[in-house]
Amino acid sequence: MKFVSIVGARPQFIKLAPVGRALRQWHDEIIVHTGQHYDVAMSATFFEELAIPQPDVNLEIGSGSHGAQTGRMLEAIEAVLVDQKPDGVLVFGDTNSTLAGALAASKLHIPVAHVEAGLRSFNREMPEEINRVLTDHLSHRLFCPTETARTLLAAEGLTRGVEVVGDVMYDVLLQARLTLEERAQALLPALGARAGEYVLVTIHRASNTDDPAAMRRIASALNRSGLPVLFPVHPRTRKYLTEYGIAWDERVRLLEPVGYLEMLALEQHAARIATDSGGVQKEAYLLGVPCVTLRDDTEWVETLHDGWNVLAGSDTEAIGVALAQSGPTAERRDPFGAGDAAERIALSLRDWP
């Protein structure tokens, strides 16, 4: 059978890598890149590092407001689906590309499979939350990363086609882990950083970046952390930091975006990670690095157990306290599967729809 996999942002490229590889054992796959992330460091390098085939179609949608971007994607994806006539469509995660792909397919009566279904932050002000909920209700097959996700879907009346397969990002991390030490040995000296002695920061969500007061509170906490800070800056975030004129302590290093494997190497050797990214929260947990989440909620509630992840929002004092805490003493749990999620998804898709 023929499947169209729709991606547009770097977390989706990561999920696509193992799923597409497993899927192509039995089916044909057409990769459609919406162009939601179009910067080379945010897109092309991920395809190279993760050995993903180059997209068959690049829609080059680019940035824009949520409504405008989703609308352009919807129109363009519909044209691709009419042309390709696939047996099914795969969408990943919770971006505008996810929703546009699911909506275009459902309007054409093409069955949809959602990889990473069932996540909920219960914050409807997050565009990603709207995308998740709508995509799940449009999908025929819902691949959940955890039992929590299955429970949340059942609470919304979604029980048909629901499978707990584990987390595909765990698959990638396990495959990449053997190379991380070598990368860290080259990367850390070049950045003037020492293993276990720095805070790694990522910030990209509009609730932080679009609010100058929030960004100033976060910056104040990082400036006062007492540790060197490595901050690979998302292009959109950099634009706002320049606009706000935020002053940084000399120990805070603003870096260009890094590739996925370099990012994992930096995560693995950090003393703490501070982030508003759902994926980075989860990677921190899997790597055994304490995390401070710069949000008031999380869709990855499993990471909150035993203090491995602390919700601090943009509150300067809360961030400071969380960064200064000693590490959790309890063992991490194992809620994200066995590292075989992609194979389980591909096996499930042999019986379609």
Q: Report the candidate in 5, 9, 4 with the shortest Cα–Cα distance to residue 277.
A: 9
C-alpha torsion sign, points 301, 306, 309, 310: positive
Task: Convert 53-90 to b/e letters by CB count within 10 Å (16 or more is b).
Answer: eebebebebeeeeeeebbebbbebbbebbeebebebbb
Residue at token pair 């996540």: 119
Exactly one of 204, 234, 269, 305 is catalytic; name it: 204
Burial class of residue 155, CB neighbours in 10 A (0-12, 13-18, 19+): exposed
Q: Is the distance from CB of 313 to CB of 292 less than 8 angstroms? A: no
Q: SS3 for the chain, per residue?
A: CEEEEEECCHHHHHHHHHHHHHHCCCCEEEEEECCCCCCHHHCHHHHHHCCCCCCCEECCCCCCCHHHHHHHHHHHHHHHHHHHCCCEEEEECCCHHHHHHHHHHHHCCCCEEEECCCCCCCCCCCHHHHHHHHHHHHCCEEEECCHHHHHHHHHCCCCCCEEECCCHHHHHHHHHHHHHHHHHHHHHHHHCCCCCCCEEEECCCHHHHCCHHHHHHHHHHHHCCCCCEEEECCHHHHHHHHHHCCCCCCCEEEECCCCHHHHHHHHHCCCEEEECCHHHHHHHHHHCCCEEECCCCCCCHHHHHHHCEEECCCCHHHHHHHHHCCCCCCCCCCCCCCCCHHHHHHHHHCCCC
- Catalytic annotation present for 204: yes
Active site members: 204
